[in-house]
Amino acid sequence: MSRIAVLPGDGIGSEVIEQGLRVLSVVAPDLTYEHFDLGADRYLRDGTTLPEDVLQRFRNEFDAVYLGAFGDPRVPNNEHAKEILLGMRFRLDLYINFRPCKLLDDRYCPLRGKGRKEVNFVVFRENTEGMYTGIGGQFKRDSEDEIAIEQEINTRKGVERILRAAFDYARAHGKKRVCMSDKANAMRHGHELWQRVYKLVAKDYPEIQASHLYVDVAAMKMVQTPEAFDVIVTNNLFGDILTDLGSALIGGLGLAASANINPGVAAMFEPVHGSAPDIAGKNLANPLAAMLTASLMLEHLGRKDAAFRVEEAVRRCLEDGAVTRELGGNLGTTAAGDAVLARL
């Protein structure tokens, strides 16, 4: 029996998580849940973001965290969202950002002549270092001589563990190709480290073809020949960009799922989209990304059959055009949930 911490969050987060939980209740009725009241309302009420004891409970008492989205126009700079999401990412050391780019129905792919056979790869994005640690500074701010420095952090440990995670995934899932992407021709220190460690790690996986592309070329190839990829592994900044490109290839934010994992310690699952305040509360949000995220969570919990059932039901909705408006359908959030349930 697995125990799930649920953080519906803000905006459309709670709307899509509600639909995800409906689906989970059918395919995995024995899962148990505890809901956490965290997000903009709570922050505006009493200033709480992510207390240490709650974080420790995520680590010690739950098998996974299922999260909607954080973000609210009432909170300046979305301070609460940053503290909760980055707090979880850094304090639980969720170093793997895992994003599948699996097209489920050809009509939602924007590439001419490409379909399900061609667009089916996963991205491993390093999630705890790189350009996103906030290390740097500003000097002579607001003057003509102003300087701003943003530093990129690459540790041997951090690079090696994400590379191994990508190869381990490839091995476990019968994927034959891993491609590491960096910009070692222009970023000669940090990315040279990636190159060196990649060559060493690849030796431990002789059955897997290990290739390399500079990130500009990788972006181009993802559009021209997405079939060239099985597993892409890259740093935090490049992964951020390449995964959004990947989301576009499978039909956009309404279909993009993600996992943030520290194997054996903690795992958090969230749809890629944010709180979308423009459509919140209007029954317009597409719940399919939250459902595909639930499918990822089920797979992580070792429930492959249930994970496949959810993905297959979502795929059939896409095939039938039983989808929300941004995908060309006419269903609201709840009706889109009904459509998936009907196909389970």
Q: Write out the residues near ligand ATP by the rule CB under 6 A.
A: 12, 16, 69, 71, 253-254, 273-279, 285-286, 289, 326
Q: Which of 37, 216, 278, 305 is catalytic?
A: 216
Helix (H, G, I), strand (E, B) or coil at 213: strand
Closest CB 151 distance from ligand ATP, rounded Å: 25
Q: Is 199 a catalytic residue?
A: no
Q: By Cβ distance, which residue is nearest to ligand ATP?
A: 274
Buried b (16+ CB within 10 A) or exposed e, 269-301: bbbbbbbbeebbeeebbbbbbbbbbbbbbbbbb
Environment class of 241 (CB within 10 Å of its CB; exposed 0-12, middle 13-18, buried 19+): middle
Closest CB 79 distance from ligand ATP, rounded Å: 12
Q: Which is nearer to ligand ATP, 277 or 321 (CB)?
A: 277
Q: Are 8 and 35 in contact (CB under 8 A)?
A: yes
Give the list of residues 6+ apart from residue 31 with CB closer than 8 angstroms, or none: 1, 2, 3, 4, 24
Q: Is 244 a catalytic residue?
A: yes
Q: Which of 95, 105, 183, 230 is catalytic?
A: 183
Q: Which is nearer to ligand ATP, 103 or 256 (CB)?
A: 256
Q: Which is nearer to ligand ATP, 175 or 273 (CB)?
A: 273
Closest CB 284 distance from ligand ATP, rounded Å: 6
Strand partners, 199: none
Q: Are 286 and 314 in contact (CB under 8 A)?
A: no
Torsion of CA 112, 113, 118, 123, to 10 degrees: -10
Q: Which of 132, 169, 182, 198 is catalytic?
A: 132
Q: Which is nearer to ligand ATP, 81 or 202 (CB)?
A: 81
Strand stretches in 36-81, DSSP E: 64-69
Closest CB 299 distance from ligand ATP, rounded Å: 21
Closest CB 73 distance from ligand ATP, rounded Å: 8
Separation between Cα atoms, residue 99 and residue 272, nearest integer Å: 9
Closest CB 298 distance from ligand ATP, rounded Å: 20
Q: Which is nearer to ligand ATP, 35 or 325 (CB)?
A: 325
What tokens does 320 get?
A: 């039938």
Q: Which is nearer to ligand ATP, 197 or 279 (CB)?
A: 279
Q: Are 132 and 120 in contact (CB under 8 A)?
A: no
Q: Is 240 a catalytic residue?
A: yes
- Give whole-number Cα distances, 18 to 25, 26, 140, in Å: 11, 13, 49
What tokens does 202 get?
A: 């690849």
Residues noted as catalytic = 132, 183, 216, 240, 244
